[in-house]
Amino acid sequence: MIRCLLKSLLMVAIAFFIAWQPVLAEEEPMTAATLFEQLSTLKQQAFESTNKGDFTKAEAYWSELLELLPDNPAIWSNRGNSKVSQNKLESAIADFNKAIELDPNAPDPYLNRGAAMEGLGKFESAIADYNKVLELDPNDPAAYNNRGSAEAALGQWEVAVKDFQKAADAAPDYAFARANYALAQYQLGNIEDAIRTMRNLVRKYPKFADMRAALTAALWVEGKQGEAESQWVSAVGLDKRYKDIEWVKNVRRWPPTMSSALEKFLSLKS
């Protein structure tokens, strides 16, 4: 999971303007208000591009902001996020490193770098970053959830389920953390608890495709074919990626037991 942050640029912009006044005076005069308007416009364009899924354009806007404010750690972190979304993971990590260098006590660059490390399969490094986030903010639910994901990737399911529980308890509406908890419980053989949690999530979030697909698999194995089929219709109507077992295993990273259950269902459907 990647989290975005951007500190208020107003005072930074004014300080930048004052510091660069002698240089600007030699070229073209620029007021603090003009500079702030330019910064605000670029920031808005970056976020709008991100919301539209145009991460290449978002990266370009963050780069323009860095030309104006090269010492702002939040901008470095945000540009790193746009690179992660393009799978430019090594370059993203370089941006997160710069953000951390500029502000070692800001938790978000560590969290974002951890997600990039996970993308590279460097799960121990990711856990180290999530540990740092929790050192800075012991109640950060995203850090607990992400650490659980990295632990799960290493097969540490007993530890992972505790972290997913902490994430869900710290943020009761953090549905994805609760979903990860359910999947981990299924992997540990706590089937009844896992299915109960899945049902509760589907009841509260009817468009939660991940849990509808998980319920499909779990109910099919339990012999409840009718209900499983019903859940499946809803799941693929919301997100067709669950038809691709390789995506489920390697991108969504379901636990082996849960993936195997879905694979059994899919093999009979094909």
Model confidence pLDDT, tens digit, residues 180-211: 999 999 999 999 999 999 999 999 999 999 99
Distance from the Cα of residue 44 to its chain's centroid = 21
**The pLDDT of residue 23 is above 60:** no
Of 69, 61, 71, give the one whose Cα is nearest residue 98.
71
Of 182, 184, 222, give the one whose Cα is nearest residue 203.
182
Structure tokens of 95? Answer: 């941006």
Model confidence pLDDT, tens digit, residues 47-98: 999 999 999 999 999 999 999 999 999 999 999 999 999 999 999 999 999 9
- In the three-class reduction of DSSP (H, G, I as helix; E, B as strand; rest coil), residue 146 is classed as helix
CATH number for domain 174-270, candidates 3.30.70.100, 1.10.30.50, 1.25.40.10, 3.40.50.1820: 1.25.40.10
| Dist CA 1 CA 8 (whole Å) | 23
| Dist CA 46 CA 93 (whole Å) | 19
- Angle, alpha carbons 117-118-124 (nearest 5°): 75
Question: Taking residues 238-260, what's their average pLDDT?
Answer: 97
Distance from the Cα of residue 82 to its chain's centroid = 12
- pTM of the complete model: 0.85
Model confidence pLDDT, tens digit, residues 152-167: 999 999 999 999 999 9
